[in-house]
Structure 1
Amino acid sequence: MSVDLTVVVPAYNEERRLGPTLDAISAHLRADPGRWDSWELIVVDDGSTDGTADAVRAAAAREPRIQLVEAGAEGNRGKGHALRRGVAASHGRMVLVTDADLATPIEELDRLDKELSDGDGRLSATIGSRAHPDSAIDVHQRRIREWLGRMGNRLIRAVAVPGIRDTQCGFKLFDGDKARTAFADARLDGWGIDVEILQFFRRQGWPVAEVPVRWAHQEGSKVRPADYGKVLLELVRLKTRPTESVRRRVRPVDLAVAGLFLLASVILYKGLWADLDHRYLADSGQDQNQWEWFFAVTADNIAHLRNPLFTTAQNFPDGVNLMANTVMLGLSVPLTPVTLTLGPTVTWALVLTVGLAATAVAWYWLIAKRLVSSRWAAAVGAALCAFAPPMISHATAHPNFAVLFMIPVIVDRALRLCERDARVVRDGALIGLFATYQIFLGEEPLLLAAMGMLLFALSYALANREVARAAWRPLLKGVGVAAAVCLPLVAYPLYWQFFGPQSYHSVLHGDRAGNSPLAFLEFSGRALLGDEARADPLAMNRTEQNAFYGWPLVGLTFAIVISLWRLALVKALTFTALAAGLLSLGPTFRIPYTDMILTGPWRALAHQPLFESVIESRVAMICAPALGILVALAADRLNALPDGVPRLHRTLAATALALALVPIVPTPMPTRDRPDVPAFIAEGMWKSYVAEGESMVPVPLPDPGNAEALHWQSATAPHFPVAHGYFNGPWGPDRIGIYGASPRHTSNLLRDIRYGGRIPTIGPNWQAQARADLTYWRAGVVVLAPQDNEAALYRTVSKLLGRPGERVGGAWIWDVGSTG
């Protein structure tokens, strides 16, 4: 809806003079169609007890561009509340607020408009000023009343808005986008809102000009000299009682939303919680085993005062660089008591369930605080940010990509740096501390968040150069302070990660690491209308369905962008989402249904430090908060539609929103039975076979395709080392990162036979190789647990070792260490 001008008139018991006022405003705007081609006039009835609403309806019958917004059951709340509602319902490129008595004639709009237009985008608002030397007072108030008003105004100027001569004139013309932002931020219900808005413009660095106007005192005016005192009182309360702020106060609806997010998360993982000892997330591959092992080994290191950045519990004797793996020390360390007392599976389930809900709450807090006035609109947007298909895909196996509650906090503090009254050192230091903690939750998500914030900042700067000019210096200074705080705190862990034992330089991901363009339009396998058969071919695996937003949401987003394109925020979010989506296609991508291969912009980043280890399809996760915020903005506008909008239009808009979101609602995570830990492990029988400095060698050796041996460790505490494993480590002389240990001949042989490979002729060469590999692993015992192809594996190991195995504790074992 494109509108040149919105006029907002707050009204309380204005039945007598509202009709002539509305007729005068309408006549003036109709008289100059070349200037005011499209306009709307919004009257907010602030709980009137007379026929104010009827007067507006009568005027609307004569001029359909007049709309009525009624306070309803809220009753009379004050001018500030009425203006907030009226501006929130506006669509104008410019917004004029004027009092119902037209003490400043509507013709003075032309002066304000000329000043604003001649500013070439420099000005953000022009306000009528009775105190300007060139103003004309046609009808004065009584002398004592005028003197008291002048003294009150001077006091307000000195205390709250220095430089503005007339803060309380009710005739002000604003840039529409800035007005909606400022009034959404306002908290005062009374006369003090005029000052609060001017203060907001000053903080944002948005220039305001005073324009001389004609003014005439109107009999029956509701403004009294004592109201200047009320303004000061309101401003004092706003400063001294920040806990009364609507944004900062926890309302019942906030608790309800948080409870709903937690309930949704519990429902997602209900199959896991139903039987923590025997259920396993079916789509997680071997990642649940790996993550439980991460939690268990971190707790064991902490309990025994060992280095939490390294372990030899797997990949013995070389060990694992834990800092170079996603161990989430920011949660695994503080949750050590839970892991030691209740087990790592409980920690795993808690981190996923509570972490996902906490992420949704954090996005809700940010959106409600900075972007929308409707709490439920914020909840809808936050739900999409946290429960979007890519997030749910990672929530099956990668808590470091699903538990992102620190990202909205970092974003909020970065936005705080852009405000005029930002405390650069304090805010920058907080960003540094928050980033430090996020590094210990997940480095790659922080890198992606930084990419998203950079894309947003650049695009917002292009869309609103005025704000960019005011914000870039404090923002850069704050980022510098953040780096100065963060880098010393993470210097040693990062040194260990990149240069310590078992460090590596990059990770090989294969040829399917980029998204297909079709993936953005398809539903994920875990979506309500998803189809695994259609989704699986478009992703690396079910934990990496990093797009899959679905065509209805893409279509809705397109409609939202068109309708709200005038907002700089919408332009920046749109560019951010499009750029992230394009980057996620990888270095090259194929145009669907053709053989045409194009080069993608990711090619420029693919081999750069840090980016070389990123799975490029994950960049599409940046789209989730961008889409969530766009949906929140649309829902907020829908909630603020004036009462004059036909019910059918409201219903259609709400239906479109629902139809776009319902298909991607996530379904509960499927689970499967997990194999029991062999009694040989569970009952500690292994202790007779593994001496100090020796390892256990499972058959086949654990790797990314079969890491059940890690579950043996985590379920019983990692007291025995295991050869090989599932982790990120170096391979070859160039120390390229791979998943799992560097393969050896014996490990490859046993893996191939486990998955149906032919048993080769086992002669002296194979036996010598097995002895060499067992020596390298410092093996104490070889263990074959019940599994597929168990018989073939048994025959192979028996031939390799030259003797049959022994059945102990439900497993075949071969004692090959010093105890044997």
Structure 2
Amino acid sequence: MRPADTGGRQAARTREAVVDLSVVIPAYNEERRIGPTLDAVTRYLDQTASRWGSWEIVVADDGSTDATREIVTLRRDPRLRLITSPGHRGKGHALRLGVTASRGRRVLVTDADLAAPVAELEQLDEALGEGHAAAVGSRAVPGSTLGDRRHRVRELLGTAGNLLIRGTAVRGIRDTQCGFKLFDGEKARTAFAASRLDGWAIDVEVLRHFQQAGWPVAEVPVHWSHRRGSKVRPLDYPRFLRDLVRLRTPVPRPADAVAAALFLAMAVALYSGRFFDPAHRYLTDSLQDQNQWEWFFAVTADNVAHLRNPLFSDLQGVPGGVNLMANTAMLGLSVPLTPVTLLLGPAVTLSLVMTLGLAATATAWYWLIARRLVPQRGAAFAGAALAAFAPPMVSHANAHPNFVVLFMIPLIADRALRLCAGTRTTRDAVILGLMAAYQLFLGEEPLLLAALGMLLFAAAYAAVHPRVARAAVRPLLRGLAIAAAVCLPLVVYPLAWQFNGPQSYTHIEHGPGTANTVRALLTFAERSLLAGDADRASALSLNPTEQNAFYGWPLLLLALAITVRLWRQPAVKALAFTAAAAAVLSLGPRFHVPLTGTTVPGPWALLAGRPLFESVIESRVAMVCAPVLGMLLALAIGRLAAARSLGTQYAGLLAVGLALLPLVPAPLRSEPRAEVPAFFTEGTWKAYVRPGESLVPVPLPEPADAEALHWQTGAGLGFPVPGGYFNGPYGEGDRSGVYGVPLRWTASVLQDVRATGVAPVIDERARDATRADLAHWRAGALVLAPQPRDEVLRTTVEKLVGRPGRWVDGVWVWDLHQGTRKGS
């Protein structure tokens, strides 16, 4: 009994250990062949042990009704394992069971008949040593040799099947069905776990997964000979064709629909304070951004409805107007959503864009992670939730849709990875070019930051896996050139308008305090439900919408632990470098070393002031960390799900929960919105503003107070206003960008009165300056709505204009057609 117990403990230890090579053999009623096959494989691996190291053989039985399983279990070799299925479901099901149960750094899949001798493994191994992720033993490439041939009808059917496969599912591989393949172990387990076919077409499905993931596949010539007793029958081909059709028309899993629904519920919960009454609720922490964005959607819909240029508007900044392409107007959504805006109003449009866009972004990250990194849907969900609902994303959810609606970014990343495989370079490049063009109309800065993140990842991956990088360089560069050729004609005119059209500018100076600090990376965000500290977060950021770091120290410690534990995986090394590099870049051109008085140069100094980067708020580079940390989290949870020890699973998931719990966001703050005065909603303003004239709010709208834009949208955009909240040039001679417009004398005086409550001394020179300003603005009326310090504002305007205003439909009005106007 003791020797048996010892063997059992040894087998248990073997099951927990990682081995160098796993040999997976699917079997169904193979009692005549399985014994000699196991003998041949075991003998070969023992004789070449110095090359292959530790190994295991996994027999995946597909519900055999003969003595196949008994033959396997009677062998006392602890390196031999039997995985059984309760019923006969097909070779694909058996392979999925066997490969996912394997522990090898490399996995050889071979049929039970050994039609390709096991010694051919050496050639396949050389291909993996050259940087490929899989090596397919092929009967159809030069150098292969054939022994006994198959029955003529079966051979014709096989040839026809291969032609169909190459034309529809897998490009560039001539022989997908040879049952002798060597895989990178982790990638094989990922691909087989993600498979859903139970029949012979699983070979096609797995190789298709490798190609779509950008994992290079080599086709290696082998010696092959037909063995009697083949399990493939002519009547199996209709099922094979049906499975190919299923591959071409993939059906989402129920878990995918559940994930999308949960992301939508999370987005609605985040916006619950405004989502159900968008027209009468205001996001408190959005400052004036909600007013601005509603105006963008409203003016774009108005331009489209009246067949005007959607790249420009003269409704703000009179007389210069607004270059909409030089602002974040999100024409990629505001234009197609014109019917919604015209029918339901811009407040509803913005609410839908923010909520549905956030859910769509999370779903896109989920799709990418499940497709490229982990088969477990739960792991992909957790990673995507962190990518889309990380603290920086929640901060920008306060009416910054261009940094929240990022569903195109994961699709662009996936298409770029497809280019690396080089299988459908032209097709993938054309699609990538179209995607990039569309993302440019959703947000240029997010596209730039995403490109920076992908470049960092590519550089790191090339450093740790140079052979794969060398193989990918040529198709990637060719594809990017084609993508640029597709994208540029679509965007060249809008970009020319943006940089050289009316009211364009060269760059924007954001001033000091735009970089992160190390403390900002370690601290919790304001809207963290359990750990948020508004005062501390405000001290470390520009404002509530620009808390671009705040991942919290527990998450960063978890990411470090994941990196150390999974360091052997090239993807983990590249992801860790990307996150670290983005975090360091976000510290700005110079940053303070914590706990010291030392300031050192930062790598951002190499980019600051360069074209494209000159207007970027450098703290936003830390947003690149959100999806990267989400991917590391998904990889960790996927590894935990595969762990055989419940203690390991519980401890790992507990650590994940403790790191993520402080980051759970609280719903965004909202408050009742001030009603638009009846003077605007009832159309009373029409009696005071003639065609070609503007209405001058008191004070003028500016980045600190843009409520007048709400009045303007409430009036159906019937009148233009001077001032405003947008990006434009400082002046005709200075094309440096500013927020709003440079203040003229009257606008500056009114702003100071509102800020201080002190009425200035008004003399004739002041009145002359006001007349000049009103003439410049082509003003038809001045309007003062009830607001703090409105009495002193009203007194000041009366002195400037020379007469009292009239109370009309909820506002004070000075009709400039009755007296002082346009220089009179």
Q: Residue 801 of structure 1 aligns with which residue?
A: 801
| More divergent stretch after superposition (682-691 vs 119-128) | 119-128
Question: What is the number of residues matched between the two proteins?
Answer: 796
Where do residues 156-555 of structure 1 align in structure 2 (5 Å cutoff)?
172-180=181-189, 182-183=191-192, 186-194=195-203, 205-209=216-220, 224-227=229-232, 229=234, 233=238, 235-243=240-248, 248-424=250-426, 426-529=427-530, 530-555=532-557
Q: Residue 667 of structure 1 aligns with which residue?
A: 666
Give, in whole Å, the separation in 1 of the partners of 2:607 and 2:142: 60
Q: Residue 746 of structure 2 aligns with which residue?
A: 746
Q: 5+ unaligned residues in a row in structure 1: which ranges?
A: 218-222
C-alpha displacement of 1:23: 11
Decide which of 544, 550, 561 is 1:559's aligned counterpart. Answer: 561
- Aligned AA for 2:230? P
Deviations 1:151-210 (Å, cap 9, x if unpaired)? 887777787699999977766543324534553565542344456656777896533445
Q: Residue 721 of structure 1 aligns with which residue?
A: 720
Deviations 1:14-42 (Å, cap 9, x if unpaired)? 89999999999899989998766665665
Give, in whole Å, the separation in 2 of the partners of 1:565 and 1:742: 54
Where do residues 773-784 of structure 1 align in structure 2 (5 Å cutoff)?
773-784=773-784
SS at match of 2:21: strand
SS at match of 1:571: helix
Q: Residue 710 of structure 1 aligns with which residue?
A: 709
C-alpha displacement of 1:604: 1.4
| More divergent stretch after superposition (453-462 vs 160-169) | 160-169
Deviations 1:641-670 (Å, cap 9, x if unpaired)? 4xxx12222222333333333322222111
C-alpha displacement of 1:66: 7.2
- Whether the 8 Å contact between 1:506 and 1:613 is mirrored in structure 2 is yes
Change in CA separation of 1:723 and 1:197 when aligned onto 2, cut-off 3 Å: closer
- Aligned AA for 1:517? V
Give, in whole Å, the separation in 2 of the partners of 1:702 and 1:604: 37
Give, in whole Å, the separation in 2 of the partners of 1:86 and 1:515: 49
Give, in whole Å, the separation in 2 of the partners of 1:814 and 1:199: 71
SS at match of 1:418: helix
| More divergent stretch after superposition (44-53 vs 227-236) | 44-53
1:87 aligns with 2:93: no
Give, in whole Å, the separation in 1 of the partners of 2:271 and 2:202: 47
Q: Residue 622 of structure 1 aligns with which residue?
A: 624
- Whether the 8 Å contact between 1:680 and 1:811 is mirrored in structure 2 is yes
Change in CA separation of 1:342 and 1:9 when aligned onto 2, cut-off 3 Å: same
- Aligned AA for 1:782? L
C-alpha displacement of 1:734: 2.5
Give, in whole Å, the separation in 1 of the partners of 2:632 and 2:176: 34
For the aligned residues, what is the CA RMSD?
Answer: 4.0
- Aligned AA for 1:601? P
Change in CA separation of 1:351 and 1:133 when aligned onto 2, cut-off 3 Å: closer
Q: Residue 697 of structure 1 aligns with which residue?
A: 696
Q: 5+ unaligned residues in a row in structure 2: which ranges?
A: 1-16
- Aligned AA for 1:525? E
Q: Residue 687 of structure 2 aligns with which residue?
A: 688
C-alpha displacement of 1:543: 0.8
Deviations 1:99-157 (Å, cap 9, x if unpaired)? 6799999xx57x735872698535655678999999999xx9xx999999888877777
SS at match of 1:796: helix
1:650 aligns with 2:661: no
Give, in whole Å, the separation in 2 of the partners of 1:647 and 1:22: 32
| More divergent stretch after superposition (152-161 vs 625-634) | 152-161
- Aligned AA for 2:89? R
Change in CA separation of 1:525 and 1:55 when aligned onto 2, cut-off 3 Å: farther
Give, in whole Å, the separation in 1 of the partners of 2:31 and 2:174: 32
- Aligned AA for 2:218? P
- Whether the 8 Å contact between 2:61 and 2:69 is mirrored in structure 1 is yes
Deviations 1:279-330 (Å, cap 9, x if unpaired)? 1011100000011111111122222222221112111111111111111111
Change in CA separation of 1:699 and 1:651 when aligned onto 2, cut-off 3 Å: same
- Whether the 8 Å contact between 1:153 and 1:167 is mirrored in structure 2 is no
C-alpha displacement of 1:401: 1.0
Q: Residue 130 of structure 2 aligns with which residue?
A: 121
| More divergent stretch after superposition (484-493 vs 608-617) | 484-493
- Aligned AA for 2:735? R
C-alpha displacement of 1:598: 1.8
C-alpha displacement of 1:77: 2.8
- Whether the 8 Å contact between 1:123 and 1:209 is mirrored in structure 2 is no
Give, in whole Å, the separation in 1 of the partners of 2:40 and 2:149: 31
Change in CA separation of 1:709 and 1:68 when aligned onto 2, cut-off 3 Å: farther
Give, in whole Å, the separation in 1 of the partners of 2:772 and 2:648: 76
SS at match of 2:689: coil
Give, in whole Å, the separation in 1 of the partners of 2:61 and 2:75: 14
- Aligned AA for 2:552? G
Change in CA separation of 1:567 and 1:58 when aligned onto 2, cut-off 3 Å: farther
SS at match of 1:611: coil
- Whether the 8 Å contact between 2:127 and 2:218 is mirrored in structure 1 is no
C-alpha displacement of 1:43: 5.7
C-alpha displacement of 1:260: 1.6
Give, in whole Å, the separation in 1 of the partners of 2:301 and 2:589: 40
C-alpha displacement of 1:708: 0.6
- Aligned AA for 1:592? P
Change in CA separation of 1:14 and 1:521 when aligned onto 2, cut-off 3 Å: farther
SS at match of 1:403: coil
Give, in whole Å, the separation in 1 of the partners of 2:754 and 2:700: 10
Give, in whole Å, the separation in 1 of the partners of 2:322 and 2:175: 69
Give, in whole Å, the separation in 2 of the partners of 1:582 and 1:410: 25
- Whether the 8 Å contact between 1:152 and 1:225 is mirrored in structure 2 is no
Give, in whole Å, the separation in 1 of the partners of 2:71 and 2:799: 99
1:595 aligns with 2:600: no
SS at match of 2:445: helix
C-alpha displacement of 1:552: 2.6
Using structure 1 for the length normalisation, give the TM-score. Answer: 0.86
- Aligned AA for 1:706? D
Change in CA separation of 1:59 and 1:314 when aligned onto 2, cut-off 3 Å: farther
Give, in whole Å, the separation in 2 of the partners of 1:707 and 1:176: 58
Q: Percent identity?
A: 57
C-alpha displacement of 1:724: 0.4
Change in CA separation of 1:285 and 1:3 when aligned onto 2, cut-off 3 Å: farther
C-alpha displacement of 1:479: 2.0
- Aligned AA for 1:242? L
Q: Residue 12 of structure 2 aligns with which residue?
A: none
Deviations 1:38-70 (Å, cap 9, x if unpaired)? 65665656557899999999989x85x877766
- Whether the 8 Å contact between 2:579 and 2:624 is mirrored in structure 1 is yes
- Aligned AA for 1:502? Q
- Aligned AA for 1:701? L
Give, in whole Å, the separation in 2 of the partners of 1:595 and 1:744: 42
- Aligned AA for 1:263? A
Q: Residue 220 of structure 1 aligns with which residue?
A: none
Change in CA separation of 1:647 and 1:429 when aligned onto 2, cut-off 3 Å: same
- Whether the 8 Å contact between 1:779 and 1:817 is mirrored in structure 2 is no
C-alpha displacement of 1:506: 0.4
Q: Residue 764 of structure 1 aligns with which residue?
A: 764
Give, in whole Å, the separation in 1 of the partners of 2:85 and 2:515: 52
Change in CA separation of 1:59 and 1:283 when aligned onto 2, cut-off 3 Å: farther
Q: Residue 6 of structure 1 aligns with which residue?
A: 22
Deviations 1:235-287 (Å, cap 9, x if unpaired)? 5334444345xxx2133322222222212111111111333332101110000
Using structure 2 for the length normalisation, give the TM-score. Answer: 0.86
Give, in whole Å, the separation in 2 of the partners of 1:90 and 1:767: 86
- Aligned AA for 1:376? G
